[in-house]
Amino acid sequence: MEKPEPTRGSRLVHPIDSRNLKFEDYIGQNLYEHIPAEFDFSKKKRTPWRRMGNWTANDCTCASAGHMIECWTANATREDVILTREVMEVYIALSGYNPETHENDDGLYYQDVLKYWRKNGIGGHKIKAFTTVNFKDPQTVRAAIYSFGGAYLGLELPNTIIKQELWDVKPGGLTGDRAVGSFGGHAVNVVAYDADFLYVISWGKVKRLTWKFLATYGYVLYAVISEDFFNAGITPHGLDLRTLEEDLLNISKAKKTLERQLGY
């Protein structure tokens, strides 16, 4: 039996590591010249989107990863369908969730899932790295989505989204049901964008959200480097991921060296 409304899925207060690499720090400005005004990575996906457990359990952070893998593989080689069981295995491993009693169903931190994904993989698929993206700058958001085949988005949703087809900022100020996080934290994967909307997968369906909604209720956006593109010897749109990976590692080492020098 389904719940009358969807589960939240991520913890409301999410610590963000200050050492995170930032997408805009290492992407050259000339990249922006090649970003189209609209793009849709979901066109090549052949199987229906599914909830992957995120209706009866608060596993949206893991379900979003499963959705991203399906979309990546559909674009890079051949779509690999990620089983709900494979998604739930990650949620159980990180949260201690009991599927029979529903104990420990408290959601997860975004970064915990991303770190697990990088180290252990999900459904046999690993990621190389992830970087934060300035989600309040539409140009940077478009560049991240277009360059890496989508993005991993954390939102602090308002209660107004319940039963809404279009997620937009309701007039009247950010109080009551319009308040940031009044519904709870939620992870989604971004598969497309155009001038008016971003298109995300939430609870097994495509949802539209306005750019204003993103700027208002966004919490964190990650650009994720997929091994599916890397291993296939291609990138979403011609980026040299091997060089990029080296740059990311160098930046990471430089930041760690600086932190040691500053005594962090």
Domain housing 116: 23-262
The answer on pLDDT for 140 being more than 50 is: yes
Mean pLDDT is lowest, of 77-86, 141-150, 153-162, 189-198, for 141-150
Whether 11 maps to a domain, the answer reads no
Domain count, the chain: 1
Q: Write down the pLDDT at residue 21.
A: 52
**Which of the two residues, 1 and 100, has the higher pLDDT score?**
100
Whether 5 maps to a domain, the answer reads no
- For range 35-43, the mean pLDDT: 93
**Which of the two residues, 24 and 125, has the higher pLDDT score?**
125
Whether 12 maps to a domain, the answer reads no
How much is the pTM? 0.84
- For range 91-112, the mean pLDDT: 94
The dihedrals phi and psi of 18, each to the nearest 5 degrees, come to -65, -15
67: left (phi over 0), alpha (psi -120 to 50) or beta: alpha
Whether 88 maps to a domain, the answer reads yes
User: Highest-confidence range of 24-28, 161-165, 191-195, 231-235, by mean pLDDT?
Assistant: 191-195
Distance between CA atoms of residues 78 and 82, nearest Å? 12
Distance between CA atoms of residues 172 and 41, nearest Å? 35
Mean pLDDT estimate for the chain:
84
Whether 16 maps to a domain, the answer reads no
Q: Write down the pLDDT at residue 235.
A: 58
Instruction: With cut-offs at 50, 70 and 90, classify the pLDDT of residue 163.
Output: confident
pLDDT tens column, 175-226: 999 999 999 999 999 999 999 999 999 999 999 999 999 999 999 999 998 8
Whether 8 maps to a domain, the answer reads no
Whether 1 maps to a domain, the answer reads no
Whether 210 maps to a domain, the answer reads yes
Give the CATH number, domain containing residue 147.
Answer: 3.90.70.10
